[in-house]
Chain A
């Protein structure tokens, strides 16, 4: 195969999410249909309109030594935990170069977040106001910069082929993985650690998203609040955490005898040019991204059996995506088992594409589609358009090659569709 069209595979996965401190426990929670949402019990939450969120299952302070943790934004802490797991899971035993299986100059990282080190920025502003200029941490800038998580993961693994951070709100994590696939496909790198992270559970983002009417205010029923496709859905539930995968050229993976979870077939990207926050109601931009995915890869629609939908539990967005899938894939969409895992993890913003890529890869590897929970009364428009996996996980076909999509969309009109398939 030419160096500009190389096959890319997934050889490692890692995650830390509201469902568990690693990919295995997260997957177990997803398949079991467990909600990671709970009440916000912090003092500051008392006068918020939104008092629920999907908080991390394992606090990073339990995993990262304190001297290191105090100079990392929470989003970078999540990214490092997930990347460390993914790196070891891929079979690497140390930094590139120390582990001679990977050349540092052929290794990159692409880890993104939607809003960067927002808690560091806001907390240090509080320090400035309350304690004065001198007390502002000298680590503030590297902690709040949006490329901090990617750069820290780059330091962890010794990446010298490039460290990148695409920013596209809630599509950031997926766009990062798409960018990583391109780095390998076009020959810039052999191995790329990629994913998304977010840590935005703080009074300001919660108040701001709440005032946009974007979040669920179902404070009395935290575990039932994130309900994509249900007729009574009233907005997303904010989540936090990270998901990271190790992408590798198929040749490089074969050369070192690595286990391959799935092939990363490619990505389709588009932008709406419709509204800064509202999704285009007919899903035209999303359809354009899906069409690009089909046009630019050898993805076979007949093989697609599962979609990890963006579906955040907002009234407009959930159905627009289903319409786009139907528009582009026609009757083939009949065999797409559509899962909205945000019903369990909440919406991790820039982390979503990372965590949901982990979920999509594991769905293919295990041939199981996780459920969408909390669908009590399925929106008739959703029911007429797609096959939603409701209530319980569903087995995927046991034989033959199967493929799955992972969609992510972001404020700003960003649309990213990723495709994976079994090998």
Chain B
């Protein structure tokens, strides 16, 4: 069953918390991964791989560069999830 927008944001919050140690409540749709959430380019790869697994979605490397904010990633997953 496809995840709702709310579930995706919550899932991304768990992932960012695990990888970057940012409290889950600080992971909100308008937040930038690199500027606000301490996710550098290598850690972004980890976030993407974890999100792919969790939401059964493929995020090609070329698309990753467009995922600047938690909201960008949420929309992408909503649209492409299996």
A67: Cβ under 8 A from any B Cβ: yes
CB of A274 within 8 Å of the partner chain = no
Cβ contacts under 8 Å, A135 to chain B: 49
B57 within 8 A of A: no
Q: In chain A between 283 and 342, which residues have their CB closer than 8 angstroms to a CB of chain B?
A: none
* Residues of B50-65 whose CB lies within 8 A of A: 52
In contact, A139 and B20 (Cβ under 8 angstroms): no
A66 within 8 A of B: yes
List residues of B (18-45) whose CB comes within 8 Å of A's CBs.
Answer: 19-21, 38, 42-43, 45
Question: Given A71-B42, A139-B42, A134 and B49 touching (CB < 8 A)?
Answer: yes
| Cα separation A134 to B43 with both chains bound (whole Å) | 14
**Interface of chain B, helix or strand or loop or mixed?**
helix
Q: Is B14 an interface residue (CB 8 A)?
A: no
Least CB distance from A123 to B in Å reads 15
Task: Select from chain B the residue with minimum beta-carbon distance to A66.
Answer: B21
Of the four ranges (under 10, 10 to 19, 20 to 34, 35 or more), the interface on chain B belongs to: 10 to 19
Range, interface on chain A: 10 to 19
Bound form: Cα–Cα A142–B42 in Å: 10
Complex contacts, A134 vs chain B, CB 8 Å = 49, 52
Give the residue of B21, B45, B52 whose beta carbon is less than 8 angstroms from that of A65.
Answer: B21
Asked if A67 contacts B21 (CB within 8 A), the reply is yes
The minimal Cβ–Cβ distance linking B8 to chain A, given in whole angstroms, is: 20
Cβ of A257 under 8 Å from chain B: no
Q: Does B46 contact A (CB under 8 A)?
A: yes
Least CB distance, A70 to chain B, in whole angstroms? 8
Partner of A138, one of B20, B38, B45, B52: B45
Which residue of chain A has the shortest Cβ distance to B49 in the bound complex?
Answer: A134
Instruction: List the A side residues contacting B38 at CB < 8 Å.
Output: 67
| Nearest neighbor of A134 in chain B, beta-carbon distance | B49
- In the complex formed, the residue of B with least CB distance to A142 is B42
Query: Which residues of A from 105 to 144 have beta carbons under 8 Å from B?
Result: 134-135, 137-139, 142
Q: Is the CB of A137 within 8 A of B21?
A: no
Asked if B19 and A137 sit within 8 Å, CB to CB, the answer is no
Q: Give chain B residues whose Cβ lies under 8 Å from the Cβ of A66.
A: 21
Q: Is the CB of A138 within 8 A of B21?
A: no
Contact B42 A138 (CB under 8 A): yes
Give 10 nearest A-B pairs by CB, closest first. Answer: A67-B21, A138-B45, A138-B42, A67-B20, A139-B42, A134-B49, A65-B21, A138-B46, A66-B21, A135-B49
A-B contact pairs, 22 of them (CB 8 A): A65-B21, A66-B21, A67-B19, A67-B20, A67-B21, A67-B38, A68-B21, A70-B19, A71-B42, A71-B43, A134-B49, A134-B52, A135-B49, A137-B46, A138-B42, A138-B43, A138-B45, A138-B46, A139-B42, A139-B43, A139-B46, A142-B42
The residues of B with any CB-CB pair to A shorter than 8 Å are 19-21, 38, 42-43, 45-46, 49, 52
**Given contacts A67-B20, A71-B43, could you give 10 more A-B pairs where the C-beta distance is less than 8 Å?**
A65-B21, A66-B21, A67-B19, A67-B21, A68-B21, A70-B19, A135-B49, A138-B43, A138-B46, A139-B46
